[in-house]
Amino acid sequence: MRINYIPVFYFGTRRKDNPQDKHYFLKKHLEFLQELEIDSPIEATLVFNVSSDMDEPEVNEIISHYEFKIPLETTFRENSGYSYAGWNHALTLNIHHNYDYSFLIEDDYIPSNKNFYLPFIEQVEDDTSFVCTRLSRSFQPLHAAMSSGLIYGKNVKKVFEAHNKVFDIIPGDGYFYAESSQVYFLSLFEALGLKLKELPEEFEKPFMEINTDIINYGGNIKAPIEPIKAE
């Protein structure tokens, strides 16, 4: 089994204005990946959405201070389309690597343990597109309330072969476009009859409320991924 771990990083305004080191989230992911053993199924593709506040040599220098037992590559792309376009970039780049699964994760979330992917894989069936931590049922179409999750490699290839891309990204900047991408990024899968799933309730993860920075945990301690906390 091979799993491509794909975090998307951004060091622009919302990171620059953060009192923490703007590379703090990157370093937390590197620390996690550094701990994985050579027999881990994880291979990492780190995606960087390039902004005027990002220094590519500086990022490469930071990464060089870590030693990894797993394969790890980096890719730098224009800052457009938010994390969804970043994930689409990596999935397309690696389409012929034949990963069984890819795990898509925002830069400000982190796995809570080395086997974080297992609850997601347990939900996968032949017609599964994506397994998210929880679904949003507030309005249609049904979509991931939090977009981090596991995507099924076999069906990624099926969508790519049909459309020459993986995700349907809504172009533009601003909250409306980010929200639209969150709702519709899996529409090409849905058009092929592939289904979005969520983890069972006991795995419901903590999430960050938009615009409030309030972390809601729901009293659950089995979350496979969780927000990165300041130290």
| pLDDT attached to residue 168 | 84
Task: Please name which of 40, 51, 43 lies closest in space to residue 82, comparing C-alpha atoms.
Answer: 51
Counts for the chain of helices (H) and strands (E), in that order:
8, 13
**Residue linked to tokens 């009192």:** 19
| pLDDT attached to residue 155 | 97
Q: What pTM does this model have?
A: 0.88
Please, which contacts does 9-18 make with residues 24 or more away whose CB atoms are closer than 8 Å? Answer: 9/46, 9/47, 9/48, 9/49, 9/107, 10/48, 10/49, 10/51, 10/79, 10/107, 11/48, 11/51, 11/53, 11/54, 12/49, 12/51, 12/52, 12/53, 12/54, 12/79, 13/51, 13/53, 15/53, 16/53
For position 111, which CATH number holds?
A: 3.90.550.10
| pLDDT attached to residue 102 | 98
| pLDDT attached to residue 175 | 62
Question: C-alpha 104: how far from its chain's center?
Answer: 2
Cβ neighbours of 88 (radius 10 Å): 23
pLDDT tens track, the chain, 231 positions:
999 999 999 887 655 555 568 899 999 999 999 999 999 999 999 999 987 777 889 999 999 999 999 999 999 998 877 788 999 999 999 999 999 999 999 999 999 999 999 999 999 999 999 999 888 777 667 777 778 999 999 999 999 999 999 998 877 666 655 676 677 788 899 999 999 999 887 776 555 544 444 444 444 446 789 888 766
| pLDDT attached to residue 231 | 64
Which structural domain range is residue 135 located in? Answer: 3-227
φ, ψ for residue 10 (rounded to 5)? -140, 130
Domain count, the chain: 1
| pLDDT attached to residue 52 | 73
Cβ neighbours of 191 (radius 10 Å): 12
| pLDDT attached to residue 60 | 94
φ, ψ for residue 216 (rounded to 5)? -110, 125
Write the DSSP symbol of residue 209.
Answer: P
Distance (Å) of CA 62 to CA 30, 58, 96, 115, 208:
9, 6, 29, 26, 27
